[in-house]
Amino acid sequence: MIDAAQAQDVLARALESRAYSAVSAEIGGESAARWTYAAGRLGFDPATPGVDHDTIFDLASLTKVLAATTIALQLTARGRLDLDSPVSDLVPAWRGAEHAGVRVRDLLQHSSGLPACRDYFRTLSDSDGFVRAISEEPLEDAPRTRAVYSDLGFILLGVILEQAGGGSLATQFAQWRAVIGLADPLDYQPPSAWHSRTAMTEHYEARGTMLQGEVHDQNTEALGGVAAHAGLFGTAAAVGAAARWWLRLLRGQDDAATGVSASAAEAFTRRSAVPGSSRALGWDTMLPTSSCGTRMSARAVGHTGFTGTSLWIDPGHDAYYVLLTNRVLASNTSDEIQRVRREFHDAAGTP
């Protein structure tokens, strides 16, 4: 049973303490949403509009699982992407002895040896430049010896997905969204009509503006708003609809419309053999110390986003949990959202 009162209390107390100005949450199962909550305002100014379940959020790194991992899953199902292909076979700039052993799979499970991030946006403004810069990065570890959560690996993965799929990430994501009938707002490069109902993220002095409807991640901005590691905007309802697609697959239902089998999805959510890693392909897996809290089943998978977002899917309990906030408006460095996420998931119970 969902303990709505306790879950709501956790989110309301965090709102009162100004951990964020906006929050929207949804809990559901494979067939439908079961509980929703929305509170706060788009910004801390009392004059800004209030939040409802139609409020749009910058989803940040939820893009890694909702877009990039979903596209990778479909391409492997269609035989257009081999996860064990060497990256050097697909990206000409990726060369050198230390890079030779890196596979596509390693990019997905954050075990390529690439560093976490670099501020390429300061000097680069196109995909080719990013690919060259990433390919020239010295590896910090040998492939598959350690997991380091890497935006750089996913940026490179995005280029591979575009080549394999014959279209941009935005186009391939829109095609998937249409096939599964996802009508709620969930997309790259949000149109101007979305901006007035999007939660604010941060005042950027460099841009001279409050970010609202513009991507927070600066490398993604330099890439035109479309990348494999960040860039999606959407509502809690839209993220919930995407979660239900994954949840049905993980509970054994093949998806004829996209050609993805339950067994293929299960393989993507299986924890890797990388020493000390909780990562699967794209997804993170359940640890009692992570953002999912302590009550989910061992089969649960999820992800978080820097702006204050998270998604956890628990096939063992037929449940998904969407939590969207704009915590970066309060602070870029505070880790209070980590406590809020854990308390929210534990308070919500198991539907």
Interval 288-342: pLDDT, tens: 888 999 999 999 999 999 999 999 999 999 999 999 999 999 976 678 899 999 9
Q: Is the residue at 35 inside a domain?
A: yes
At 254, which amino acid appears?
A: D
In this structure, the answer to whether residues 237 and 158 fall within a common structural domain is: no
In this structure, the answer to whether residues 234 and 275 fall within a common structural domain is: yes
217 — phi, psi (to 5°)?
Answer: -70, 125
In this structure, the answer to whether residues 279 and 216 fall within a common structural domain is: yes
Q: How many CB atoms lie within 10 A of CB 115?
A: 17
237 class by beta-carbon count within 10 Å (0-12 exposed, 13-18 middle, 19+ buried): buried
In this structure, the answer to whether residues 57 and 160 fall within a common structural domain is: no
- Average pLDDT of the chain to the nearest whole number: 94
State the average pLDDT over residues 88-104.
93
Q: Is the residue at 194 inside a domain?
A: yes
Count of domains for the chain: 2
Residue 205 has pLDDT above 90, yes or no: no
Q: Is the residue at 45 inside a domain?
A: yes
Q: What is the dihedral of CA 176, 178, 180, 182, to 10 degrees?
A: 110
Which of 135, 169, 203 terminates a domain? The answer is 169
CA-to-CA separations, 256 to 67, 119, 245, 260, 292, in angstroms, rounded: 19, 41, 12, 7, 30
Task: Encode pLDDT of 43-88 as tens digits.
Answer: 999 999 999 999 999 999 999 999 999 999 999 999 999 999 999 9
At 100, which amino acid appears?
A: A
Residue 219 in 3-state DSSP? helix
22 — phi, psi (to 5°)?
Answer: -135, 140
Task: Encode pLDDT of 119-172 as tens digits.
Answer: 999 999 999 999 999 999 999 999 999 999 999 999 999 999 999 999 999 999
Q: Is the residue at 145 inside a domain?
A: yes
Task: Using alpha carbons, select from 79, 10, 65, 116 the residue that is nearest to residue 259.
Answer: 79
Specify whether the backbone of 231 is left (phi greater than 0), alpha (psi in -120 to 50) or beta: left
Q: H or E element: which one contains 317? A: none
Which of 124, 145, 169 terminates a domain? The answer is 169
CATH of the domain at 24: 3.40.710.10
In this structure, the answer to whether residues 31 and 120 fall within a common structural domain is: no
Q: H or E element: which one contains 319? A: strand 319-325
Domain coverage including residue 111: 70-169
pLDDT tier for residue 2 given thresholds of 50, 70 and 90: low
Q: Is the residue at 175 inside a domain?
A: no
In this structure, the answer to whether residues 219 and 191 fall within a common structural domain is: yes
Residue 101 in 3-state DSSP? coil
pTM score over 0.75? yes
